[in-house]
Amino acid sequence: MLGKPHPEQGLIEERLRTARPRLPGWPLETVGNGGPRGMIIARSQATAAGNRTRLTAFFSHFNCFDRIHFQRGVVLRRCLSCPLGFVFDNGVEVVIKTADATSGARLDLWQSIQSTICNEWTALDSAERTWIAAAVAEIALQQQKIQDLVDAAGGVSACRDCAGGCCGDGTFHLTLVNVLAHLVRDTPLPIADFSRSCPWLDAQGCQFTADVRPFNCVTFVCEAIDARLPAADYAGLERQLRELYIAFDRRYTGSSLRGLLNTATVRSGGYLTRRAA
């Protein structure tokens, strides 16, 4: 019967878990006519004290992986120690498969987007290119300032310790600004592999340098880094950077902080078509 509580939930009281824990990939309760409800573990500070959390995006908040290995069509993560308190003697391998059809469709869409933007860039007049060059240069400067602030707050060691746990969800973050930054510099964009959790990751990490990374990637900070950041300095830089991106959104029909892949099917007109004043 839909909506009936799990028989164990009434006995949980103040424990962290909402139901009997199982390894990733297992439903937490018997499948009913509505499917499993996806009651999964939330780590501390994810919600207010005493609340139970119902999440449907399984394991997106499990950033406890010591190593991440990528293969064609499969992401293999080995969890050796868990900050949630679960200890696996010999490590547990979690295999997350990416459908080849989905990967191929996204790659086709991305290549079409990239080709269209390149063609429009080639056709731009010198005045418009000058505006773009100055704007992306200012964005690069602001992004590097944010990166320097994060590094000074221990970002390098924090990111190394969690193996870049926040970097696995970057599929849809790339914007028009990031593509134009490469075109202005006449440098090739990284090769995308959509079988990976983020198509712009490789064995060494992010293929983008900090000054041309997507806005979401540059401005996200985890709790470990946030606790050591000078809040006022970071807030000021983030606000200025957001305004620079929004200036592109106001100027061009194909620009949006939602990302190129997210907006590809709803966009009308060219990417570098000027919006009406």
Kindly report the backbone phi and psi dihedral angles of residue 6, in degrees, each rounded to the nearest multiple of 5, phi listed first: -65, 135
**pLDDT single digits (tens) 28-55:** 444 444 444 444 344 444 444 444 433 3
Question: What's the pTM value of the predicted model, to 2 decimals?
Answer: 0.64
Name which residue leads in pLDDT, 226 or 80: 226
| Ranges 213-222, 236-245, 266-275, most confident | 236-245
Least confident interval from 117-121, 157-161, 218-222, 225-229 = 157-161
Retrieve residue 30's tokens: 């018997």
If DSSP codes are grouped into helix, strand and coil, which group holds residue 174? coil
Write down the pLDDT at residue 100: 64
Q: What is the pLDDT of residues 169-221, one digit of tens each?
A: 788 999 999 999 999 999 999 999 998 889 998 888 889 999 999 999 999 98
Q: What pLDDT, on the 0 to 100 scale, is given for residue 85?
A: 39
Distance (Å, rounded) from C-alpha 126 to C-alpha 131?
9
Rounded CA-CA distance 130/60 in Å is: 41
For the cut 80, the answer to whether the pLDDT of residue 274 exceeds it is yes
pLDDT at residue 238 is higher than 70: yes
Q: Where are the domains of the chain?
A: 1-61, 62-97, 100-263
Instruction: Please list the alpha-helical segments (H only) found in the chain.
Output: 100-123, 126-152, 155-161, 176-185, 215-219, 223-226, 231-251, 260-263
